[in-house]
Structure 1
Amino acid sequence: MSDVEVYGIRHHGPGSARALRGALEEFKPDAVLIEGPPEADPIVELAGDPGMVPPVALLAYSPAPGDGDGGRKAAFWPFAEFSPEWQAVRYALGAGVLVRFCDLPAANQLVPSREDDSEGPEEDAPSPSEAAEGIRLDPLGWLAKAAGYDDAERWWDDVVEHRGGGPSPFPAIAEAMAELREQLAGLPEGASSGGLPAGHLRREEQREAHMRRTLRRTLKEGHERVAVVCGAWHVPALRAKVPATHDDRTLRGLPKAKVAMTWVPWTHGRLAGRSGYGAGVRSPGWYHHLFTARDRPIERWLTAAARVLRDEDLHVSSAHVIEAVRLAEALAALRGRPLAGLDEVTEATRAVLCEGADLPVELIQRRMVVGERLGAVPERTPMVPLQRDLQSEQRRLRLKPSALDKEQDLDLRKPTDLERSRLLHRLRLLDVDWGVPSDTGRSKGTFRETWTLAWRPEFDVELIEASVWGTTVRGATAARAEAMAAHAATLADLTSVAERCLLADLGDALPTVMRALADRAAVDTDVAHLMCAMPALVRALRYGDVRDTSTGPLRTVVDGLVVRICVGLPPAITGLDDDAAREFLAHVDAVHSALSLLAEEDHIERWRRTLERLLARPDVLHGLIEGRLTRLLLDAGRLHDVPDRMARAVSAGAAPDRAAAWVEGFLSGGALILMHDDALLRLVDDWISGLPGDSFTDVLPLLRRTFGAYADAERRSIGERLRHRNESPAPSPDRDEEAFDESRAAPAVDTTLRILGWPNRRVPAPPMPATGGRGRTDDEEGSA
Structure 2
Amino acid sequence: MTGAPRARTAGPLLLGVRHHGPGSARAVRAALEACAPRAVLIEGPPEADAIVRLAAEKDMRPPVALLAHAADDPGRAGFWPLAGFSPEWAAIQWALAHEVPVRFIDLPAANSLAMSAKQTSAAAPAPAGPPDPAALPDPAAPLEPVDPGEQAAPGAGSAERLRVDPLSVLAETAGYDDPERWWEDVIEHRGTGGAEAFTAVAEAMEALRAEYGHGGHEDDAVREAHMRLRLREARREFGDEVAVVCGAWHVPALGERTTATADRKLLKGLPKVKAEISWVPWTHRRLARHSGYGAGITSPGWYDHLFHAPDRPVERWLTKVAGLLRAEDFAVSSAHVIEAVRLAETLAAMRGRPLAGLAETLDAVRAVLCEGSDVPMGLVWDRLVVGDVLGEVPESAPAAPLQRDLTRTQRSLRLKPEALERELELDLRKETDAGRSRLLHRLRLLGVDWGSPAVSRGSTGTFRETWRLRWEPELSVRVAEAGVWGTTVLSAATAKAETEARSAKGLAEVTELAERCLLGALSGALPVVMRSLADRAALDADVGHLAQALPALVRSVRYGDVRGTDTAALGEVAVGLAERILVGLPPACVGLDADGAAEMRGHMEAVHRAIGLLSESGSETGTQPEAGSGAEPETWPAAEARPQPRAAGSGAAGGLRERWAAMLRSLAGRDGTPATPGLIRGRAARLLLDDARLAEDEAARLMGLALSPGIEPPEAASWIEGFIGGGAGGGMLLVHDERLLGLVDRWLISVPAEAFTDVLPLLRRTFSGYDTGVRRTLGELVRRGPAAEGHSGGQGAPAAPGFGPGLDPHRAAAVVPTVRLLLGLDPDPHGNDTMEAAR
For the criterion TM > 0.5, the same-fold answer is yes
Which of 602, 612, 624 lines up with 2:679 in the alignment? 624
Segment drifting more, 354-363 vs 591-600: 591-600
Which of 103, 106, 113 lines up with 1:100 in the alignment? 103
- TM-score between both structures, scaled by the size of structure 1: 0.89
Amino acid at match of 1:675: V
Instruction: Report the Cα distance in structure 2 between the residues aligned to 1:731 and 1:562, rounded to whole angstroms.
Output: 37
Instruction: Report the Cα distance in structure 2 between the residues aligned to 1:165 and 1:292, rounded to whole angstroms.
Output: 12
Which of 519, 522, 529 lines up with 2:535 in the alignment? 519
Number of the residue aligned with 1:709: 769
Instruction: Report the Cα distance in structure 2 between the residues aligned to 1:583 and 1:753, rounded to whole angstroms.
Output: 39
1:734 is displaced (CA, Å) by 6.1
**Contact persistence 2:793–2:805 (CA under 8 A):** no
1:749 is displaced (CA, Å) by 6.2
1:93 is displaced (CA, Å) by 1.0
Amino acid at match of 2:184: D
1:629 is displaced (CA, Å) by 1.0
1:274 is displaced (CA, Å) by 4.4
Secondary structure of 1:73 counterpart: strand
Number of the residue aligned with 1:661: 718
1:609 is displaced (CA, Å) by 1.6
**Contact persistence 1:531–1:591 (CA under 8 A):** yes
Which runs of structure 2 are paired with 1:646-685 in the superposition (5 Å)?
Answer: 646-668=703-725, 669-670=728-729, 671-685=731-745
Residues 590 and 747 of structure 1: CA distance in aligned 2, closer, same or farther (over 3 Å) = closer
Give 1 or 2: higher helix fraction: 1
Secondary structure of 2:12 counterpart: strand
Which runs of structure 2 are paired with 1:612-761 in the superposition (5 Å)?
Answer: 612-619=665-672, 620-640=675-695, 641-668=698-725, 669-670=728-729, 671-725=731-785, 735=796
Instruction: Report the Cα distance in structure 1 between the residues aligned to 2:829 and 2:446, rounded to whole angstroms.
Output: 54
Secondary structure of 1:61 counterpart: strand
Aligned residue pairs: how many? 733
Residues 546 and 558 of structure 1: CA distance in aligned 2, closer, same or farther (over 3 Å) = same
Which runs of structure 2 are paired with 1:234-245 in the superposition (5 Å)?
Answer: 234-245=250-261
Amino acid at match of 1:156: W
1:411 is displaced (CA, Å) by 0.8
Q: Deviations over 1:143-180 (max 9, x none)?
A: 11100011111111111111124644111111211222
Number of the residue aligned with 2:574: 558
Q: Deviations over 1:56-111 (max 9, x none)?
A: 00001011127xxxxx7000000001000011111111111111000111111112
Amino acid at match of 1:33: L
Number of the residue aligned with 1:604: 657
Number of the residue aligned with 2:36: 28
**Contact persistence 1:411–1:418 (CA under 8 A):** yes
**Contact persistence 1:18–1:291 (CA under 8 A):** yes
1:378 lines up with 2:384 in the alignment = no
1:541 is displaced (CA, Å) by 1.2
Q: Deviations over 1:340-391 (max 9, x none)?
A: 1000000000011111111101100000000010000011100001000011
**Contact persistence 1:119–1:137 (CA under 8 A):** no
Instruction: Report the Cα distance in structure 1 between the residues aligned to 2:384 and 2:528, rounded to whole angstroms.
Output: 50
Instruction: Report the Cα distance in structure 2 between the residues aligned to 1:3 and 1:692, rounded to whole angstroms.
Output: 95
Number of the residue aligned with 1:83: 86
1:574 is displaced (CA, Å) by 1.7
Amino acid at match of 1:637: A
Secondary structure of 2:73 counterpart: coil
Instruction: Report the Cα distance in structure 1 between the residues aligned to 2:162 and 2:763, rounded to whole angstroms.
Output: 62
1:639 is displaced (CA, Å) by 2.7
Instruction: Report the Cα distance in structure 2 between the residues aligned to 1:737 and 1:336, rounded to whole angstroms.
Output: 76
Segment drifting more, 639-648 vs 542-551: 639-648
Amino acid at match of 1:251: L
Which of 312, 333, 357 lines up with 1:296 in the alignment? 312
Secondary structure of 1:452 counterpart: strand
Secondary structure of 1:631 counterpart: helix
**Contact persistence 1:434–1:454 (CA under 8 A):** yes
Amino acid at match of 1:271: L
Instruction: Report the Cα distance in structure 2 between the residues aligned to 1:270 and 1:562, rounded to whole angstroms.
Output: 48
1:633 is displaced (CA, Å) by 1.6
**Contact persistence 1:56–1:375 (CA under 8 A):** yes
Q: Deviations over 1:478-516 (max 9, x none)?
A: 111111111112100110000000000001101110111
Unmatched runs of 5 consecutive residues or more in structure 1: 67-71, 121-132, 185-191, 764-784
**Contact persistence 1:7–1:170 (CA under 8 A):** yes
Unmatched runs of 5 consecutive residues or more in structure 2: 1-8, 124-136, 138-142, 146-159, 621-650, 821-826, 835-839
1:263 lines up with 2:318 in the alignment = no
Amino acid at match of 1:608: A
Residues 144 and 569 of structure 1: CA distance in aligned 2, closer, same or farther (over 3 Å) = same
Amino acid at match of 1:239: G
Residues 278 and 645 of structure 1: CA distance in aligned 2, closer, same or farther (over 3 Å) = closer
Segment drifting more, 668-677 vs 592-601: 592-601
**Contact persistence 1:32–1:226 (CA under 8 A):** yes
Instruction: Report the Cα distance in structure 2 between the residues aligned to 1:212 and 1:321, rounded to whole angstroms.
Output: 51
Instruction: Report the Cα distance in structure 2 between the residues aligned to 1:455 and 1:574, rounded to whole angstroms.
Output: 50
Instruction: Report the Cα distance in structure 2 between the residues aligned to 1:636 and 1:731, rounded to whole angstroms.
Output: 20
| Cα-Cα RMSD | 2.8
Number of the residue aligned with 1:180: 208
Amino acid at match of 1:687: W
- TM-score between both structures, scaled by the size of structure 2: 0.83
Which of 590, 596, 614 lines up with 2:606 in the alignment? 590
Instruction: Report the Cα distance in structure 1 between the residues aligned to 2:535 and 2:186, rounded to whole angstroms.
Output: 71
1:276 is displaced (CA, Å) by 4.8
Residues 44 and 356 of structure 1: CA distance in aligned 2, closer, same or farther (over 3 Å) = same
Q: Deviations over 1:191-210 (max 9, x none)?
A: x566x4xxx41x11011111
Identity of aligned residues (%): 55
1:429 lines up with 2:445 in the alignment = yes
1:138 lines up with 2:156 in the alignment = no
Q: Deviations over 1:377-423 (max 9, x none)?
A: 01110000100001101110000110000110111111111111111
Secondary structure of 2:453 counterpart: strand
1:63 lines up with 2:68 in the alignment = no
Of the two, which has the highest radius of gyration? 1
**Contact persistence 1:31–1:223 (CA under 8 A):** no
1:32 is displaced (CA, Å) by 0.7
**Contact persistence 1:753–1:760 (CA under 8 A):** no
Secondary structure of 2:170 counterpart: helix
Instruction: Report the Cα distance in structure 2 between the residues aligned to 1:751 and 1:324, rounded to whole angstroms.
Output: 58
1:37 lines up with 2:45 in the alignment = yes
1:638 is displaced (CA, Å) by 2.6
Which runs of structure 2 are paired with 1:108-123 in the superposition (5 Å)?
Answer: 108-111=111-114, 112-114=117-119
